[in-house]
Structure 1
Amino acid sequence: MDRDRYVDSLRALAIVLVVCGHWLITGLVRGPGGDIDAPELLAVVPWTQWLTLVFQIMPLFFLAGGHGAAGSWERQRASGGTAAGWVRRRSVRLLLPTGVYSGLVLLSVGIAAGMGVDPYTLSLVGWAMAMQFWFLPVYLVLGALTPVLHTAHRRWGARVPVVMGAVALAIGAVVVAGGLSYVGPLNYVLVWGVAYQLGFCWRDGLLGRGRAVPAVLAVGGGLAFALLVGLGPFPVSLIRVTGQQPGNTDPPSAAMLAWAVAQVGVCLLVAPAVRRGLARERVWRPVRAVAGASMNLYLWHMLPVLVIAAAFYLTGLAPEPAFGSAAWWVLRVPWLLVLGVVMAGVLSALRPLERGLSAAYERVRPDAGPRRAWTLWLGLLVCVAALSRFAVQGFAHDGRFPVLPAVGLVAGLALVLAPGARRVPLRPDGPGRRSALKGAA
């Protein structure tokens, strides 16, 4: 089956812009004693918060994810597969590279802690290597809920994301008002779930064949965002800024929801023109390469920052104009280029590992669910909890090795990766028929 090149290009674009955004706002400063610090650019230079409107396009990743998941789940249903088998295979695809990455980082943290590395430095590095993890537990949850969400989609169509958005707005209003703050995390699933669910609608043509509905989404979402930022309580930054309350990402706010809707509208408006461009092989070839490496790019993209910090900042070789000055911004160009070169080397070094993980993933049968379904759901729950802990506190909170979340991630992965049950085909006669009926009884 031919893949939709435009959908794959959205995933690639979202990852590339997120990576470039993280690199752009990461600034290193070498102190008098040789220690390295990373001031928060968005807080120190407030106008840079406007840049997040360009780099925060993860709504399009969730849109593309919903589009792809809908097609995959429909094919699984048509072939008679189970929800547990489908969720397990989708989860393994995300958790295998994440587990390897986390294991290597945790091993490094343990060695560094044993060697007596300064706790502050270790905590800063551990946070940098986990700053992208917020996305993983949300995507795992939405993947696990896909069979239920798609059932709702088949019954109620575009009304589902509308209702999800309305509930998210109500929860957001309660959180901003200062009450029941513990319900706020639900908006991680609801706000990002709106974009995911719109992916279902997009695939089934429920967002209109012309330009009217996309234009309404783009203009309506953009105006709502402008009002919520200009007249409402929300900041313009679509990335968390220390001390900003309320923020737009922790949990996702009404402003983030509005921006997500606007992005979906723009994405649909430009789709015909972009698809024509992607039909050319010379245009599609580099996009396909980036899309194929997107998971490793997302997971490992802060490693080049650490390499450059060690090679140029710890040694005092890097020029250091005043943080946020015009000269500092000029040096962002070689900074991004050097990071890109190092990242290319990292991705090249990871290719054997990537091939090994791909082979392991292919051994997970798409038509075989876990032997006991509860092990899958428990494993996913534990993985989500562990990854959420890393996303909030990093890999070395207060300079200490994170024993509990590390053990939790290993246990969760073991439960999800537990061997699946062999699917027994139903035949009109013979042992397969009898054993299947016996199992059903």
Structure 2
Amino acid sequence: MSDSEHKHAAKEDRDPYPDALRALALLIVVLGHWAATLPRVENGILVDTDHILDAWAPAGLYTWLVQVVPLFVFVSAAVSSQGVQQRLERGEPHLHWWAGRALGLARPTVTYLVVLTGFVLTAFFTRDGVLGPLNHSLTVHLWFLLILLGVQLLLPFCVWADRRWGLKAVVGLILLIAAVDLLRARPTGAADLLAFGARVTDTHDYFGWINIVLAWVLPQQLGIAWWHGRFFGRRTGLGLLLLGFAWLGLAVAVGYPVSMVNGNVGGDTNLLPPTLALLGVMWVQVGLVVLFETPVRNFLKRQHMGSWMAMFGALGLQLYLWHKLAELPATWLGVRLGWPIDAGMPGEPGFWIGRLEWIGLCA
């Protein structure tokens, strides 16, 4: 077999399903971020930006679908676990691999920050009114890269835990996350249990930040278990999906915030630090992954879309880094063309048309 045939065979052997999952998650993130930014224009000048969660309470329900960090961690762990296991068996240090991943993320990230700094300096000297209201929006997405690197540092331990305990390692992490929330809430009676979530987010003990490790290691542990066939099938997927929505509904009923994406540090948030409620999003996403695994994988293979999914995945980091910067030229063009990028508030006439035009400008 020639070298070109070997390469073609390797491409065909690559499982397109994880690449497709990452591509879908990336598309959700990009469109979700753009849709969440609400420019405010007065007299042809950008004066401020709002977040859709602050302007429209029902948007919190949509975050149950657009908070895809658990899916990214789940898939990344799944496809990396076999290589980690092989390196451990050969006695190769995990830190070498991890440092390579860190450098691979650092180079384009530093480039993005350098370019963004150039925009900041230009805006400062020219007194341009576009950058100021958008500056926080242009860097808020970088936290995910730190989370991803942090949990990947623990991949060898997670692989070992999966081989040692299987799904019991997942159960153990869930119990630890619940224990942290329990210590934050400190319920003393039935009435406290009915407001359990509210008591958790009202308490800002430092040990609550333990969950920033546990809550993001959990989808990693689950991804490794899935990749090694510890759970599969449509019934399992449907069960996890139903569990996720029931979990989220119960969490909101006992006082956890509805939104699963943003919030003030140490405030009324499921994210900073993560709470038990955030796990509901993970169950929903993993349920969908397992439910549609066989038909989607077969479709991708029949259509020979593996190379396309892999190519999109290779461009994923660049798209993730730079998609927020697109809001700068989108705002500039929207203001000068007189497009309704400021379409008022949700529920007002023309709001959703304005959202579509804003997303089109960003794209």
User: Per-residue displacement from partner, 1:154-173 (whole Å, max 9, x unpaired)?
Assistant: 21121112111211122233
TM-score, with structure 2 as normaliser: 0.84
Aligned equivalent of 2:281? 259
3-state DSSP of counterpart to 1:188: helix
**Are positions 1:161 and 2:183 aligned together?**
no
Counterparts in 2 of 1:189 and 1:3: CA distance versus 1, 3 Å? farther
1:142·1:189 contact (CA, 8 Å) conserved in 2? yes
CA shift for structure 1 position 138: 1.0
Question: Where do 5+ consecutive residues of structure 1 fail to align?
Answer: 341-441
User: Which residue number in structure 2 is paired with residue 305 of structure 1?
Assistant: 327
Residues 23 and 244 of structure 1, relative CA distance in 2, 3 Å threshold: farther
Alignment partner of 2:230: what SS?
coil
Secondary structure, aligned partner of 2:140 = coil
Paired AA for residue 215 in structure 2: V
Supply the AA of the counterpart residue of 2:213: V
What residue identity is the alignment partner of 2:351? W
1:16-27 counterparts in 2 under 5 A? 16-27=27-38
- 3-state DSSP of counterpart to 1:36: strand
8 Å CA contact retained: 1:91, 1:143: no
Find the counterpart in structure 1 of residue 249 from structure 2.
226
TM-score, normalised to structure 1, is 0.70
Match of 2:338 in 1: 317
Give 1:264's aligned amino acid: V
RMSD: 2.5
Matched, 1:235 2:244: no
Aligned to 2:361: 338
Aligned partner of 2:187 in structure 1 is none
Alignment of 1:21-420 (within 5 A): 21-32=32-43, 34-113=45-124, 115=125, 117=127, 124-175=133-184, 176-177=199-200, 178-179=202-203, 181-207=205-231, 209-229=232-252, 231-241=253-263, 246-281=268-303, 283-284=305-306, 286-313=308-335, 315=336, 317-319=338-340, 320-324=342-346, 325-340=348-363
Q: 1:109 Cα deviation (Å)?
A: 2.6
Q: How big is the shift at 1:271? A: 0.3
The answer to whether residue 26 in structure 2 is matched with residue 15 in structure 1 is yes
Measured in 2, the distance between the counterparts of 1:286 and 1:69 equals: 20
Q: Cα–Cα, structure 1 residues 75 and 124, in superposed 2: closer, same or farther, change >3 Å? A: farther
User: 1:151: Cα distance to partner?
Assistant: 1.8
1:177-231 residue CA offsets vs partner (Å, 9 max, x unmatched): 4556212222222112111111110111112x434443332222221111111x2
Instruction: Quote the offset at 1:262 in angstroms.
Output: 2.5
2:77 and 2:133 mapped to 1: Cα distance? 34
> Partner of 2:100: helix, strand, or coil?
helix
Kindly indicate whether the alpha-carbon contact (under 8 Å) linking 1:91 and 1:140 is maintained by their aligned counterparts in 2.
yes
* Aligned twin of 1:372: none
Equivalent AA in structure 1 for residue 163 of structure 2: R
Distance 1:171 1:90, change over 3 A: same
Distance 1:296 1:193 in 2: 24
Report the AA paired with residue 20 of structure 1.
L
Stretch moving more, 15-24 or 218-227: 218-227
Q: Describe the superposition over 1:115-135 as per-residue Cα deviations: whole angstroms up to 9, x where unpaired.
A: 2748x9655433111111121
The unaligned stretches of length 5 or more in structure 2 are 1-9, 185-198
Rounded to whole Å, the distance in 2 between the matches of 1:321 and 1:213 is: 43
In 1: Cα distance, 2:224 partner to 2:16 partner: 17
- SS of 1:187's equivalent in the other structure is helix
Distance (Å, rounded) in 2 between the aligned partners of 1:180 and 1:317: 45
Q: Is the 8 A contact 1:76 1:86 kept in 2?
A: no
List structure 1 runs of 4+ shifted beyond 6 angstroms: none
Q: Would you say the 8 A contact 1:90–1:143 is kept in 2?
A: no
Closer, same or farther in 2 for the Cα pair 1:199/1:321, shift >3 Å?
closer
Deviations 1:397-419 (A, max 9, x none): xxxxxxxxxxxxxxxxxxxxxxx
Q: Secondary structure at the match of 2:38?
A: coil
Contact 1:219 1:262 in 2 (8 A): yes
Contact 2:46 2:133 in 1 (8 A): no
